[in-house]
Structure formats: C-alpha cells, structure tokens
Amino acid sequence: MSLVRLKIKGISYSQTQNGAYALILNEVEGDRKLPIVIGAFEAQSIAIALEKEIKPPRPLTHDLFKNFADRFQIVVKQVIIHKLVDGVFYSSIICERENVEEIIDARTSDAIALALRFDAPIFTYKTILDKAGIFLKFSSKEKEEDDDDSIVVDEILQEGETVEIESGAEAQGYRELSLEELHKELDKAVANEDYEKAAKLRDEISKRK
C-alpha cells in the first residue's frame, strides 16, 4: 500500500461537542483534508508545538516524552496513521535507537503531538485517505478573512458532527485589542497555562504582522 504524506492545516473547535476539537491534516501533494476529532489537552499540546513562540513554564506530557527520548537517544523517525475502524484512527510511531527500529502503537493525537516535537513526517495510507478524506468548502467572505491560510471548516462529516471555528464573538474581541494589549494577554495566558487562549491570541498577533 502506498503512503501519502500529510501536513497539519489547522485545529478548529467543535461547538456541538464540548471539549472536542478537529485536527485537520492536508495531503502534501493534493487538496484532500483528513479531519480527526481530538481532545482539548491534545489540541493544546499540538497548538503549542505549532506556535514556536509559546513557551510553557513547565514541560507538558509530550515535552516530557521528548526530553526523556533525547536523554536516551531515542528518535521518532515518522508517524503513520495506519488504520481507520468505526471512525477511530489508529497510528504507529516509528522510533529508532542505536540503529534499531521499533514500532509503537499510539493514539493519533499523541503521535502527531510527538511528531511535531521531533520534526518527524506524518503519513497515512492512500486507502485511508480515499475513505475518510474530504474537500472543504470556503465561502468568498471566509477566503477574504483567511489571511494567514488558517482553516475555516464549514462541515466535517465524521459521525454526523459539525465542527466549526472559534466563536465570532471571541474572535471579534481579539480584533479590538491593540498589538501591545494582545502581547500582554498572551503573556498572561501562558503564565496561567491557558494554552488554548494563548494559541488564539498568537493567531491574532500573526495576522497583524
């Protein structure tokens, strides 16, 4: 079976399922997206790894694993999303230590959070992408507002759930803040370990640059 390389397109909040997020993966050489529903902790961990300027005061679980692996010279070579059963994705982490390769079973959200920290590529099989990949639709208004190419999700057909981007009221509130105020709020969010808010603030700051 042929492998297809994926990249992270974005993370969106589910307004229909409390505490759930949709991680959107995009095929590198194509337009199909692979949506995966993940929990709040994993979404925050992935968002922090994506936002290089957000530095937690203490290491998160995935940071701890990275530090542990570095100490014992274990390298994550790649992550493969290898199976889809009843809407659940299964992944493997391909590791290497002293030229010996090991395959470790992992939740997809954890595997991707680690792949980001090791700069490891993410793959899936073509058969999985053919089965679960979708084309997302954008309105003309959304395209105009999407200056940083962050994902805006109309609908994700996964177990009948609709996943949407953060609420308009919250986004509007960030837009009304000055750049200096945004940086202060970002520092405060990181200090309070509110990484979900920190990631959203960082997105707004990036749009101003």
**81: helix, strand or coil:** strand
Residues 48 and 131 in one domain: yes
127-175 residue pLDDT tens: 999 998 887 654 444 444 443 333 333 344 333 333 333 444 455 577 7
Residues 55 and 117 in one domain: yes
Per-residue model confidence (pLDDT) at position 204: 75
Residues 83 and 93 in one domain: yes
Residues 174 and 121 in one domain: no
The first and second tokens of residue 76, run together, are: 């994550």
Per-residue model confidence (pLDDT) at position 8: 92
Residues 205 and 136 in one domain: no
Is the per-residue pLDDT at 14 higher than 90?
no
68-125 residue pLDDT tens: 999 999 999 999 999 999 888 999 999 999 999 999 999 999 999 999 999 999 999 9
Residues 146 and 189 in one domain: no
How many domains in the chain? 2
CATH of the domain at 119: 3.10.690.10
Concatenated DSSP letters of 123-152: EEEHHHHHHH-B-----HHHHHH-TT----
Q: Is the pTM of this model over 0.75?
A: no
Residues 146 and 197 in one domain: no
Residues 145 and 201 in one domain: no
Per-residue model confidence (pLDDT) at position 170: 53
**Long-range contacts of range 162-170, CB-CB < 8 Å, 24 or more positions apart?**
162/14, 162/15, 162/16, 163/12, 163/13, 163/14, 163/15, 163/16, 163/20, 163/21, 163/22, 163/35, 163/37, 164/12, 164/13, 164/14, 164/15, 165/12, 165/13, 166/12, 166/13, 166/200, 167/15, 170/200
Containing structural domain, residue 191: 167-209
Residues 108 and 85 in one domain: yes
165-199 residue pLDDT tens: 344 445 557 777 888 888 888 888 777 777 667 77
Residue type present at position 121: P
Residues 91 and 70 in one domain: yes
Residues 108 and 183 in one domain: no
Residues 85 and 175 in one domain: no
